[in-house]
Amino acid sequence: MSYELWDNDEEINYFREYLRIPTVHPDPNYEPAVDFLKRQAKELDLPVSVFYPFDKANPVLVITWTGQDPKLPSILLNSHMDVVPVFPENWTRSPFSADMDILGNIYARGAQDMKCVGSWYMAAIRALKKSGTTFKRTIHLSFVPDEEMGGRRGMRVFIDTDEFRNLNVGCGLDEGLASPGEEIPVYYGERTVWRMTFKATGQAGHGSLLLENTAGEKITYILNKMMALRQTQVDRLKNNPELTIGDVTSINLTRLDGGVQSNVVPPLLTAGFDTRLALDVDLQRHEDQLHKWCEEAGGGVEIEFDQKHPFVKPTALDDSNPFWVAFKKATDELCLEIKPQIFTGGTDSRYLRREGIPAFGFSPLHHTPVLLHDHDEFINADIYLKGIQIYKKIISNLANLS
C-alpha cells in the first residue's frame, strides 16, 4: 500500500489515536484511554463495564460481545493499557506522536507492547460484527492497568474478584513478542519469578585490619555461588540450539548496596538478584540450596524476597486442550509458521494460568524487529493490517468452539 492509503485507513487511524494517549509510567493517567475505549465500544454497539479492583486510579475496562450460548465459558481477549517510560532524547520521533514514515512504519511507545494487540482485538471484532457474524461463546475484551509493574494494581487483583469470576472465562489471549523472521512465537507458559536480596551482616571495624567474619567475605561467597549457577545456564543455552531463554533459568545481579566510606569495614552489605526459574526447577530444592549457601557463607546472611511467585502450570498444547486445537487450526489455515515457547519475561497470562485457565501469548508481529521497551519502537502498517485478518480467524475459531 501507499502512504496515502495507510494514512486514510480507518483502523490504522484508530490505532494511532490509541498510541497518542500517554499512559506512561511512572504515573500513568488512564482516564483518556478509558474515554477512548468507551467510544470504541459505543461504535461497536457493545456494552462496556469499568471496574476498580485496586483503586480509582487503576481502572479495568471490559467490552462484552454476548454469544449465542452465554453459559459456555467465554473467550477473554486481554491487553494492558500502560506503557513503560521513555527517554525522548533517544528517539528520532516524538514517542507519543504515532508518526508514520514513508515505509508505513508507525513509531510510538506501546506500538509493540502492547497497544497493537488491544487495537487488533477491536478491529477484528468490528470487522466480524460488520459481516453479521455471530458466535456460540461470549467474547470479552479486557483492558487492564499496571501490567508493566507486575499487574499488582491490575490483573493480579482483578482475577480474584467476583467481577472477573462472572466473566466465566474459558480461554485467554494475551501479548507475545515480535519476531524478525517468518516464524511467530506462541507462548504457553512463563518461568517462575523470584526477586531476592541477600543481606549479609558481619564484624565492622577499621579498613586497615584483617577482621574475621566480615559482611564482605559473606556477600562475596554468595555472589560467587549465584554467578556460578548463572554460568551453568549460559552454557546450557549456548550448547543446545533447540533451547530459548525461556527454557533455562536466568540469574542477574541487579543491586549492590552497603558501606559508608572506603576505610570502614561495614556491618551490612546486600546483593539483589532477579531470577526467573525454568519450568524444570524444583522450587523447594532451589530454596533449600539458597539457604545452605547462606549457612556456608558463615551465617548472618538472610534472604528477603521482593517477589516469590509460585509455580504455575503451563497451558497444555495437545488434544486435551480443545482451545489449543482451535487456535492451531486457525494458524494452520492461515499458513502461519508458529513456534510454541516459554515466555522470557512476565505477562498477565500467568494469572489466568494460575486459575487453571488456558492462555496463549500471541502477537502476529513477524518480520518485525523486537523493540518492546526500546527506543524508536514501531510496527509497520501492512503488518498491522494483516494482523487484523489473523485475529479474525483465531477469534472465530475459539468463539465457535462447541
Which residues are tagged catalytic?
Answer: 82, 147
User: In this structure, what are the phi and psi dihedrals at residue 182, rounded to the nearest 5 degrees?
Assistant: -75, -30
**Sequence-distant (≥ 6) Cβ neighbours of residue 338 within 8 angstroms:** 183, 184, 185, 186, 328, 331
117 within 8 A of 184, measured Cβ to Cβ: no
Grid cell listed for 191? 518461568
State the alpha helices, DSSP H only, in 240-345. 283-296, 322-333
**Alpha-carbon distance 161 to 354, whole Å?**
14
Q: Scan for cell 485496586, then name that residue.
A: 54
Grid cell listed for 259? 558501606
- Pairing status of strand 60-65 against strand 205-206: unpaired
Closest residue by Cα to residue 190 from 53, 309, 17, 23 = 309
362 within 8 A of 209, measured Cβ to Cβ: no
User: In this structure, what are the phi and psi dihedrals at residue 292, rounded to the nearest 5 degrees?
Assistant: -65, -40
